[in-house]
Structure 1
């Protein structure tokens, strides 16, 4: 009996630790110095006690003056608490020491009903500042639900009280324990209106990691990934169940076409951690280990449903100066001055600010007088992606140089955009830019071609109306005497065509000959044999008899093999004699003379003293190869 109670206590203790893997934590960092969080289980059995802990930590040396206030939690009754505990945590990272003081308020509670139970934000006051936890929720299970999810029925029976102070982790992974969803803030938008798409995971089990990750392609959108720093996990209710949830990736999307655009499926493989019971073996070790929970990893394939976005076309008619800007904008313009000396640089700067599809906004068009030389526009931007769209400002600078003196007025710049909140187009206009260009006191010393005394649009660029007289040899060609279509042209074409045909025939013949390996070897037999005889003569002059006869035999056998197209494996004296006399019509006496020379060389190779002299064998081989070359 005592052993069973110990087993039950150990199971409850380990189950509590396993549940903490998926337990929720709502942390609030109002300042970098103070943290306030709540630790509560994701699920609890109705009527069974479980623990909720509120912890405040700070780097201050003393937080004994912290004043904690528990919110009114409907659906939970407090069994005991708060139990106040104080701790000090010290760390040393890369030589930097840090000390944090903590105060924890622990309550033992039990659920009075089933279903979702919301826990409002708790408050604590430290040093005159008030901090709150993030609101969270737990799911209260009936006794039957707790038994099914704890796996007690599959582990030998039991009742609801066996679930423990907190429900043990799951032994089996249900289809709705882990869900992957793509959530959008809007499903009906105008083209160019921002949509925030969040890839979110919902889980009721601990997840060790992900594999085989495939994000949606986001075709049809201009997509910008958003920063998720500072966003932690939270709790949410989906389908009547409480889940831990976290955003894995978030995009700011701008639709680029109208109609229904689909956000494709995201596909993940999640590694879930489940709890199994260690089987009892009947040994004394079961007192400590038998029936204790174990953690195992289980792969779960996750696929998010397809999300459809209905994109509407922008209303018509559209303003003439509309270039696709959607959002809410403001436009200001300023010139670097209203007086310039001729041939000096100036600029007009337009500043577009607000919120909308800034990355797709084109620069406003500006019209300068003909006497102004305009240079490439410069663009600067300071933009931030938010849930409402891209916010910030874009600056467009238009540099110019005025070439003629006088008074000018640059018309104000118009910029039209579509406001999706009102469904209407708005047009922004800057004031006109009056500019006076003064005489160039340097009298054109800058070399930019200023003509003094000519004002405004009277200035024309020299060379654009009258071309300068061309000097030098004009290289005139007498009419009717062109080379094209002349007799010389026809003769050249004929010669080139004939040369091309001849080259083509030669190349085809060469390719056919090279493809016939036997013929190539036959034609080169004499050349190869003479090259080997040359090496044999070198050995003869050096007095190396063995090397001489070996090279001479290689020349004789190689010549006959190549000339008669006989491979080395079938190259024998009988085969050579039959081929020369029977098929090639050679005189048998000459054929036997060639074979006798081969026999004498083979004998002399191993018995130099009794063999044929080297010079005699060399001359005989040279003579025989020459005679055979003319007859075979």
Structure 2
């Protein structure tokens, strides 16, 4: 059998050229240059890559690199590659050329463009900026003490105002020669004094080269959080812990093929954030929004019948602390009945920020006909970019309530009974039958519909309150959510995870029962709220359990029996708290 593999390999470029020729022999060439490192120590190697991309490219000879001040070209180390792709039914060819240089004199430099001649036409690449560093400035003892791997919490600002979004990057640093095959964050990272939202991030982190204190590291952004300070003052982010699977080249292997794999834990140092208070505001209502927002208000419908519901909808959209925005309060005419408001949120966690929409709906009912006007409202949110409040005036809204023209008015005379005295002789007879009011089934027929109606009314009132009264709904479902979380403890063999679930259950139950914010309160704040209930023994036991949960990471001798005992005590605390609130 005749082999055709090599022939097909040589035929493929001509096939792309033929397709390109059929499209009109027009070509759009792009010449790009890139450098592997922008900060290079004198004596280090660096690679510059030249990529030539087009839809129809003829023969391309290898371009000679220009003279680059600060770098010396290592002749004979050039690499070459070819890539064929089909984009939108259009063939594209990319030729790549790699050049290895050695850094020379210290300084800041700009590499001139590469010049390429293709099919008789001249093309130029972009320029490249780089810096050559002096290795003598590196403290060798400090460099030797530098860790091979470490993790840091890097906030985009350390002086936000209350409510301002702070983006925290969990960044892993590791030296060359180390490969991180996987990582796993330890559950339960706390950010006391903040509302915490985890942002969406790529599942596979990309590493880039950087120099820290004279040592070259690979740097990878693993996780991003959006934190919103809920109070002013000095707030401390607790250490963030990661479990890594590490492959590191053994120095004893002369050929460089031996890698040892191990699991290790790394922990960041605490980070302090100084949250500043918001300035005072006197001429508008601050709704708790900090960021960049648009606020609008609408009414539906503008014409209604007496007794029909009217909806006043406030829409707040933008980026910032969307989950923490408060409902605006409006001055409604006293003749309108106001029912429990409704609210909904849409949160977007992409593009390294929290954005979305928060909608508040007030439900009103007019009991009399007429035209009603809801006055204009002056609202405000704080814009951190300008360090000032932005005021928005919502125009006044009006609607008309009319009586139903088909409704029949009822006059008092229409309901009067025309009772006339009975005249003539009356003959009284005695009946041997039992009177109706003494028959049991008569009373059942009378009372049963009333009982069913009362039960249906009570159930509807309960469901309406569950749907509209957030505090009532949280309190009623607190026990159910607590039992669901505690049930997970019996399914896990991880003692630390078990205590994390106990702490989560207690905080969630107490905040739901006492209608406290679901996040942003410290354990000390929670204990202070329970202490106000007046049960010293219960408060003491709660403090002991929460202290145990906080210190579990530093108590390696805790056994599964201890966890089971504390689980039973947690259930008793929940039962006792349920009796008090």
> Normalised by the size of structure 1, how large is the TM-score?
0.48
- 1:358 is aligned to 322
- 2:193 is aligned to 220
Give distance in 2, aligned partners of 1:67 and 1:409: 78
3-state SS in 2 of match to 1:366: coil
- Determine whether 1:40 maps to 2:41: no
- 1:112 is aligned to 104
Of residues 179, 182, 199 in structure 2, which corresponds to 1:207?
Answer: 179
3-state SS in 1 of match to 2:359: strand
Structure 1: gaps (5+ residues): 1-33, 92-96, 149-171, 280-290, 445-449, 453-471, 473-632
3-state SS in 2 of match to 1:236: strand
Give distance in 1, aligned partners of 2:251 and 2:196: 47
Of residues 181, 204, 219 in structure 2, which corresponds to 1:245?
Answer: 219
- 1:394 is aligned to 358
- Size of the aligned set, in residue pairs, is 376
Give distance in 2, aligned partners of 1:123 and 1:179: 43
Structure 2: gaps (5+ residues): 1-29, 412-436, 438-581
3-state SS in 2 of match to 1:437: strand
- Determine whether 1:331 maps to 2:326: no
Given that 1:207 and 1:270 are in contact with CA atoms closer than 8 Å, whether structure 2 keeps it comes out as no
- Determine whether 1:405 maps to 2:369: yes
Q: Deviations over 1:372-415 (max 9, x none)?
A: 34444444444434778533433333343433211211122332
Give distance in 2, aligned partners of 1:425 and 1:329: 11
Give distance in 1, aligned partners of 2:330 and 2:116: 59
Mean CA deviation greater in 342-351 or 79-88? 79-88
Deviation at 1:440, TM superposition (A): 1.3
Given that 1:412 and 1:429 are in contact with CA atoms closer than 8 Å, whether structure 2 keeps it comes out as yes
Alignment RMSD, CA only? Answer: 5.2
Of residues 259, 263, 268 in structure 1, which corresponds to 2:233?
Answer: 259
Q: Deviations over 1:514-565 (max 9, x none)?
A: xxxxxxxxxxxxxxxxxxxxxxxxxxxxxxxxxxxxxxxxxxxxxxxxxxxx
> Normalised by the size of structure 2, how large is the TM-score?
0.51
- 2:162 is aligned to 191
- Determine whether 1:234 maps to 2:230: no
Larger Rg: 1
Give distance in 1, aligned partners of 2:117 and 2:323: 45
- Determine whether 1:416 maps to 2:416: no
3-state SS in 1 of match to 2:323: helix
- 1:607 is aligned to none
Give distance in 1, aligned partners of 2:230 and 2:114: 46
Given that 2:346 and 2:357 are in contact with CA atoms closer than 8 Å, whether structure 1 keeps it comes out as yes
Decide whether aligned partners of structure 1 residues 409 and 238 sit closer, same or farther in structure 2, where only a CA change above 3 A counts: same
Given that 1:137 and 1:242 are in contact with CA atoms closer than 8 Å, whether structure 2 keeps it comes out as no
3-state SS in 2 of match to 1:189: coil
- 1:275 is aligned to 249
Give distance in 1, aligned partners of 2:148 and 2:47: 23
Give distance in 2, aligned partners of 1:349 and 1:336: 8
Aligned residue runs from structure 1 range 421-432, under 5 A: 421-432=385-396
Give distance in 2, aligned partners of 1:63 and 1:102: 12
- 2:70 is aligned to 75
3-state SS in 2 of match to 1:188: coil
Give distance in 2, aligned partners of 1:116 and 1:177: 29
- Determine whether 1:178 maps to 2:149: yes
Decide whether aligned partners of structure 1 residues 202 and 337 sit closer, same or farther in structure 2, where only a CA change above 3 A counts: same
Give distance in 2, aligned partners of 1:317 and 1:88: 62
- 1:292 is aligned to 255
Give distance in 1, aligned partners of 2:80 and 2:405: 85
